[in-house]
Structures are given as structure tokens and as C-alpha cells.
């Protein structure tokens, strides 16, 4: 896919912010870096520091314990590759209230934009791995793909409200500057506040 058919991560997250009501939003790596600049909601978990690949698992746990809340996990393709089995775990437990947003830029962005092994340059057939197909094969019955901001704007509300688990592939272009995510404050204190907000009756 050419860069012309990919979106800016920042534009995509602005669309999510505009559509977001009272959903839990867990962001990690590049998405955490950008989400923390535009959102300061009690139900945000800026998952920095993280254990790479574990955002989907963390989101599954929150979704299972809070079935009346929509949980949205924002992560990149590099993170997902660290824990592909989590997709099978998610669909086995099938929480209706979980949406996984995969921001697919084809690279490990925060470490300096190295291509992942799923990118076309590493594939014998020169075809990058199709995460939508992968998600379907892992048992996701609701899968969406977006390659333009206009389409994402039209589809975002449905992705946040339909019965899940929902898997969404959003094609983005890698950022090039200020790539490292930063913790917005002491991790233990932030997560205590997040838990307190989560456990308030909605």
C-alpha cells in the first residue's frame, strides 16, 4: 500500500476523540504518545511504561470485568506481532464490549522506524501481512479496514458501538519525529486513578 492511501495517526486519533463518549481508551507506544497530547479523560489509560504486546490482554481483562463499558485498545502492528495469540484469547472469551484498533504503519515506529517482518520487503511474495484476514482467521467476526480519514469518520461510531469483539485495521503512515512515548506521570498513581474511575458506577 502506498503512503498516499495511508493516514496520519494524529488525524485518526482526532476522529476517535471526536466520536468518543464514555468509552475506556487504552493506548500504547505511538498511539499513547499522540493520545496523551489530545485527551485527558479519567477513563484513558496511557499504557506507558508497557510490556510490549500486552495492551490487548490488558484490554481483555478490563472488558471482562466491566461488561457494561466499551473498552477500546489502540495499538500498532509491531505491538500486535509481539502477542498474536492474544487475538485467539480474545475471540475465545468474546467480550461484546471490546474494540481493538490496529494502527498499521508497517514499522516499529518508536525505535526508529524499522520495518516489521510483516512488511512487504520481508515477504517472499512481496505482500505485507493482511491483519484483517489474520483477525478473521483468529475468530473475529466483526472486522473493518479503513484507509481514508473520511471513511474512518463515517465508520468510527459503529466500531465503538456494535457487538464485539471488534477488530479495526487503520492504515497509517509512520511518524518521523519525536517518536518516543513518555509516561505522563507516576505509573502506579495513574493506574490507581484509572481503576477508581473505572469502578465508579456508570
Partner 1 sequence: MGITHVVFLPDSTLGMWEESMMAADGLEVVRVCREGEAWAIAAGLHLGGAKPVVMIQCTGLFESGDALRNVIHDYKLPLFGVIGYRSYLSQASLPGDTCLTFTEPILDAWKLDYRFIDTPDKLSMMAEHYEQCRQTNQPGIALIAEGKA
Please report how close the Cβ of residue 139 comes to partner 1 at its closest, in angstroms: 12
| Cβ closest to partner 1, residue 49 vs residue 148 | 49
Residues of this chain that interact with partner 1 (CB under 8 A) are: 49-66, 83, 85-86, 88-89, 92-93, 187-188, 191, 194-195, 198-199
Grid cell listed for 100:
481493538
Pick the closest to residue 8 from 176, 158, 156, 154 (CA basis).
Answer: 176
Segment (H or E) for 145 = strand 142-146
Please report how close the Cβ of residue 191 comes to partner 1 at its closest, in angstroms: 5
Please report how close the Cβ of residue 26 comes to partner 1 at its closest, in angstroms: 9
Q: What is the spatial distance between Cα 25 and Cα 19, in angstroms, rounded to a whole number?
A: 12
Please report how close the Cβ of residue 84 comes to partner 1 at its closest, in angstroms: 9
| Cβ closest to partner 1, residue 19 vs residue 63 | 63
| Cβ closest to partner 1, residue 61 vs residue 111 | 61
- Going by C-beta distance under 8 Å and a sequence separation of 6 or more, which residues neighbour residue 168? 99, 100, 101, 102, 143, 144, 145, 146, 159
Amino acid at each position: 500500500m502506498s503512503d498516499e492511501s495511508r493516514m496520519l495517526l494524529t488525524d485518526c486519533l482526532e476522529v476517535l476523540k471526536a466520536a468518543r463518549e464514555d468509552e475506556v481508551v487504552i493506548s500504547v507506544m505511538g498511539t499513547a504518545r499522540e493520545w496523551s497530547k489530545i485527551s485527558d479523560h479519567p477513563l484513558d489509560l496511557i499504557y506507558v511504561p508497557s510490556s510490549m504486546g500486552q495492551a490487548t490482554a490488558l484490554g481483555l481483562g478490563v472488558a471482562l470485568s466491566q461488561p457494561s463499558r466499551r473498552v477500546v485498545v489502540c495499538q500498532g502492528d509491531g505491538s500486535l506481532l509481539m502477542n498474536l495469540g492474544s487475538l485467539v484469547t480474545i475471540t475465545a472469551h468474546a467480550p461484546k464490549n471490546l474494540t481493538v484498533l490496529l494502527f498499521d504503519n508497517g514499522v516499529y515506529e518508536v525505535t526508529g522506524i524499522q520495518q516489521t517482518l510483516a512488511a512487504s520487503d520481508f515477504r517472499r511474495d512481496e505482500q505485507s501481512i493482511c491483519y484483517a484476514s489474520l483477525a478473521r482467521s483468529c475468530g473475529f467476526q466483526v472486522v473493518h479496514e479503513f484507509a481514508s480519514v473520511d471513511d474512518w469518520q463515517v465508520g468510527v461510531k459503529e466500531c465503538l458501538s456494535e457487538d464485539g469483539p471488534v477488530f479495526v485495521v487503520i492504515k497509517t503512515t509512520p511518524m518521523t519525529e519525536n517518536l518516543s512515548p513518555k509516561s505522563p506521570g507516576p505509573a502506579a498513581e495513574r493506574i490507581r486513578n484509572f481503576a477508581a474511575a473505572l469502578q465508579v458506577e456508570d
